Structure 1
């Protein structure tokens, strides 16, 4: 039999074991997968949060772009990763809302294969044209689309939030759509600025700087209300088009993330989003960060999955 003091030390050691394991996170740099090419909203928002989060947790948060297949390639990679909190993904309305309804086999379940931690931004889309375009207002755009019987616009990928916003817009106008898919908003914006494509709907965080610089002309936003960052831009509803659409972004890890790690991540992300400088930066870009819990973000994604599925079917969307 162990001496009483030795027994007490052994019990204390066992009790301290889980605490030491939990306190070890993060034990090394954290990898944050962005399932889109650099330059788009998912990338912009992800990098803002990654920089601030790294300062709080004392380890680098390394952004890794893994674009392709409607953001499903990067999401797949994280779903299969070790659930230790060192591999995360910027989940979004594309990877965890539209793509599960669009792709017959995506290699993951948007709910069962992930631990959803927090929403980090929610942003309307903005209708954009090249500054050289004769289309100078939403009324001009609507008239031109109805005359042509269609709208042609670049999209950050088939099934992205900007694509679905375009589908909703075309339905409201009563015209056909011709979508020109890219591997992310960054390349699509580059071609729009160059005049290679005629129009695009994109989230404000990635499009806003180009609008302010005069490289793109903004016609309207897809939110229920005007965007605080661009108060002079009308909503689509103000232009007589009953369209309200938002892109959303959050942080998720693989299923089975330890509760202590999930709680710590949620606490740190909440602190990042409450930081005045971070909040101002995101609001300046048009993406207002909400305050959600892991349970709240999971419930939100469940609701979005239910709402996107009928829209994808009604629009007859197919992967490309």
Structure 2
């Protein structure tokens, strides 16, 4: 009788569904965290902070892998097609999931339908910055001068499909100024030309420009925050400059292919939210001028859905394109 019972239990164990067995063992091997941008930028820095801390907490290697290209859509499309087993993740961000799917033609994924959104990891502010010798030294100057020029104003952008690109176009739409984006391959090359005076105006993420603003090689004339930014308390918001509701943030999170196991998603979300509260991470975020939001997977998904709606409206209204 004992033998029969033991055989029955063993038979029942072998009939557990494979996904349940895999889920119970997760993570059992290294995890890839794909970064849709080149090394060195804010997206890459956030990814490396997450990878190092997740590796320690999960007990498996978490490898940060840079795969830039096509407005951050190349890497995102590849992750969307990966197995939803929790071993291939992507740093979803304002470009790859908020803007590029509308701005670029033939993007091979849907920001909502093709992904499991796990956690929002960081947000950073956007500033309107100028060369100190640029003719406009305030938003009022910029609007006045821009309206006088039929050919509009040139402004540097660090990539198509970024919030900085679309914010510049949105400012033009609100003020009646023709805004001409000058594309650079990243914030670094753009900053070199703006500091040199080749292009006088730059819509930039605060992490890359804050050092230059502090040493005086650049000047901020507005920030795209709802309130004044704690790192630039003397700089007015765009709302204060007469453009109400004009806010813009770059954001960075973690997503995976659609269909990931809820238990794996919950584990990752819990670990990421705990990492964001670590004193060393908070200090590093402060250096980056980044904030650490606290969101559940459902809240992060809703956040992305709203970003897609807002920036889609801007793309359609301005006729912005990356092609």
What TM-score do the two structures reach when normalised by structure 1? Answer: 0.89
Matched with 1:119 is: 120
Let me know the Cα RMSD of the aligned residues: 2.6
Matched with 2:72 is: 71
Aligned counterparts of 2:143 and 2:128: Cα–Cα separation in 1 = 11
Matched with 1:128 is: 129
Q: CA deviation at 1:77?
A: 1.3
Matched with 1:159 is: 161
Partner of 1:111, secondary structure, is coil
Q: CA deviation at 1:6?
A: 3.9
Tell me, which stretches of 5 or more residues in structure 2 are unaligned? none
Tell me, which stretches of 5 or more residues in structure 1 are unaligned? none
Matched with 2:320 is: 317
What CA deviation, in whole Å up to 9, does each residue of 1:162-186 have, x standing for no partner? 1111112222332101101234334
Partner of 1:91, secondary structure, is coil
Aligned counterparts of 1:68 and 1:18: Cα–Cα separation in 2 = 33
What TM-score do the two structures reach when normalised by structure 2? Answer: 0.88
Partner of 1:126, secondary structure, is strand
Residue pair 1:30, 1:59 contacting (<8 A) in 2 also? yes
Aligned residues: 320
Aligned counterparts of 2:58 and 2:108: Cα–Cα separation in 1 = 31
Aligned counterparts of 1:16 and 1:67: Cα–Cα separation in 2 = 37
1:287 and 2:296 are equivalent in the alignment? no
What CA deviation, in whole Å up to 9, does each residue of 1:127-153 have, x standing for no partner? 122345454433443344334352211
Which of these residues, 249, 271, 290, is aligned with residue 246 of structure 1? 249
Aligned counterparts of 1:62 and 1:215: Cα–Cα separation in 2 = 36
1:58 and 2:62 are equivalent in the alignment? no
What CA deviation, in whole Å up to 9, does each residue of 1:57-110 have, x standing for no partner? 233332222222221111111111222222211111221121222223101111
Residue pair 1:36, 1:184 contacting (<8 A) in 2 also? no
Matched with 1:177 is: 179
Which of these residues, 237, 255, 260, is aligned with residue 258 of structure 2? 255
Matched with 1:44 is: 45
Residue pair 2:36, 2:74 contacting (<8 A) in 1 also? yes
Q: Which moved more, 1:238-247 or 1:269-278?
A: 238-247
Correspondence 1:21-36 to 2 at 5 A: 21-36=22-37
Residue pair 2:169, 2:320 contacting (<8 A) in 1 also? no
Partner of 2:40, secondary structure, is coil
Partner of 2:311, secondary structure, is helix
Q: CA deviation at 1:312?
A: 0.8
Which of these residues, 225, 229, 241, is aligned with residue 223 of structure 1? 225
Aligned counterparts of 1:39 and 1:143: Cα–Cα separation in 2 = 36
Q: Structure 1 pair 289/115, CA: closer, same or farther in 2 (3 Å)? A: same
Aligned counterparts of 2:237 and 2:249: Cα–Cα separation in 1 = 12
